C-alpha cells in the first residue's frame, strides 16, 4: 500500500466548523435534480460558515433510478460514466460557495477498472481523490468493484485530514497510518443498510478517534430506492466524534443527528484541544505505543 501526501504545506485554524449531511435517497428525475439537491446543502453549509461539508458514500446512487436498469453491474457502470460530469459540477460548487466539499463517494472508471472513489474538492479549485481500499462482498460480487491501493493524508486550508470510506474505517491499520501523518480530522462517508451495519462503522470510527487522537466525521444515507437492485434500504445516524479525555464531551460526541432524518449537522472543532491532548492527555495513545515491540508497515506499489 502506498502512502501519499498532497503537495501544499499544511495550513491550520484554531477552530474549524464542520457540516455533515445525512442524505435521503429517493427517486430523482434527472442529473440536474441531483445537483440542485447537492447545492442546497452546500449553500446551507456555506451560509453557516462551515469550513467543510461531508456527503455520504455512493452519493449519486439515486441517479440509478433514472436508468431503469435491473442488472446491478450494468446500473453501476452507467453511474460511473456519469461521474466526470458530477465531479465537474461539484468542483464548481466548492468555488462558488467558498467551501471545501468531501463529496462522499461515487463509482468511477479508471483504465477500465471500476473503483469506489471519494472526491475532495478544495475551495481554491484543487481536486484530490481517495479510493476505497477494502470492499464489501456486495461491492465485489454485485458491482464488480476493485479496491484501491493508496491511503492519502490531505493538506487543506483548515488542517490535515484523511478520508476512509465506510468499511475502511473498520481496519485500524489505515487510521494509524494517517495518524502518523498527523491528520486532525478523519472523514468517513458510509452507506449501511441495517442498524447493525451502522453500529460496526460507528464504533470502529469512535475507536479510531480515541486511539489516533483525532476528530472523526460520519455521513450516511437514509431512505430507499426500491427500483434499484441492492439499494432497497439504508440506515444512517450521523455524528461527529471526539477523543475521550479532559476537554472533550464526556460521551465523545461533538454533535449527533436524529436517526433516519435528512438533515445537515454542524460542530465547531477545537484544533488546539488536540494539541493539548497529544502533550498533556491523561493517557497518550500515540506517544505510549511500544514501537520496540510492534509497528505498522505499509507496502508501496511496485
Residues with catalytic roles: 57, 132, 166
Q: What stretches of 14-157 adopt beta strand conformation (E)? A: 15-25, 52-54, 100-102, 106-110, 113-121, 127-131, 150-156
3-state secondary structure of 152: strand
Cell numbers for 119, please give them: 472526491
Sign of CA dihedral 206, 212, 213, 214: negative
The contacts of residue 15 (CB under 8 Å, 6+ apart) are 268, 269, 270, 271
CB atoms within 10 A of CB 122: 21
CB-based burial label for 127 (10 Å; 0-12, 13-18, 19+): middle
Query: In degrees, to the nearest 5, what angle opens at C-alpha 115 toward C-alphas 26 and 147?
Result: 120
Q: What is d(CA 266, CA 256) in angstroms, rounded to the nearest whole number?
A: 9
Q: Is 154 within 8 Å of 163 (Cβ atoms)?
A: yes
Q: Is 186 within 8 Å of 217 (Cβ atoms)?
A: yes
Q: Which has the closest alpha carbon to 54: 180, 236, 177, 193? A: 236
Q: What is d(CA 193, CA 220) in angstroms, rounded to the nearest whole number?
A: 10
Q: Is 16 within 8 Å of 269 (Cβ atoms)?
A: yes
Q: What is d(CA 201, CA 32) in angstroms, rounded to the nearest whole number?
A: 31
Amino acid at each position: 500500500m502506498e502512502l501519499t501526501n498532497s503537495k501544499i504545506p499544511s495550513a491550520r485554524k484554531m477552530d474549524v466548523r464542520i457540516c455533515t449531511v445525512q442524505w435521503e435517497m429517493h427517486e430523482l428525475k434527472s442529473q440536474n435534480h441531483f445537483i440542485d439537491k447537492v447545492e442546497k446543502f452546500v449553500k446551507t453549509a456555506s451560509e453557516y460558515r462551515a469550513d467543510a461539508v461531508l456527503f455520504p458514500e455512493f452519493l449519486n446512487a439515486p441517479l440509478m433510478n433514472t436508468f431503469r436498469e435491473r442488472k446491478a453491474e450494468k446500473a453501476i457502470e452507467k453511474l460511473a460514466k456519469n461521474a466526470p460530469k458530477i465531479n465537474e459540477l461539484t468542483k464548481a460548487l466548492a468555488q462558488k460557495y467558498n467551501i471545501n466539499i468531501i463529496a462522499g463517494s461515487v463509482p468511477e472508471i479508471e483504465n477500465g477498472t471500476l473503483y469506489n472513489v471519494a472526491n475532495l474538492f478544495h475551495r481554491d479549485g484543487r481536486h484530490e481523490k481517495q479510493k476505497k481500499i477494502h470492499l464489501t462482498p456486495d461491492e465485489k460480487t454485485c458491482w464488480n468493484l476493485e479496491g484501491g491501493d493508496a491511503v492519502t493524508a490531505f493538506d487543506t486550508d483548515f488542517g490535515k485530514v484523511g478520508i476512509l470510506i465506510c468499511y475502511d474505517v473498520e481496519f485500524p491499520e489505515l487510521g494509524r497510518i494517517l495518524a502518523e501523518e498527523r491528520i486532525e480530522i478523519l472523514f468517513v462517508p458510509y452507506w449501511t443498510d441495517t442498524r447493525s451495519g451502522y453500529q460496526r462503522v460507528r464504533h470502529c470510527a469512535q475507536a479510531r478517534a480515541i486511539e489516533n487522537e483525532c476528530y472523526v466525521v460520519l455521513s450516511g444515507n437514509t431512505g430507499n430506492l426500491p427500483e434499484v437492485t441492492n439499494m432497497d434500504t439504508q440506515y444512517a445516524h450521523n455524528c461527529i466524534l471526539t477523543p475521550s479525555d479532559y476537554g472533550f464531551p464526556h460521551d465523545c460526541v461533538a454533535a449527533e443527528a436524529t436517526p433516519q432524518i435528512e438533515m445537515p449537522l454542524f460542530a465547531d472543532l477545537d484544533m488546539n484541544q488536540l494539541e493539548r491532548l497529544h502533550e498533556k492527555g491523561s493517557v497518550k495513545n500515540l506517544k505510549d505505543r511500544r514501537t520496540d515491540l510492534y509497528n505498522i508497515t505499509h507496502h508501496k506499489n511496485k
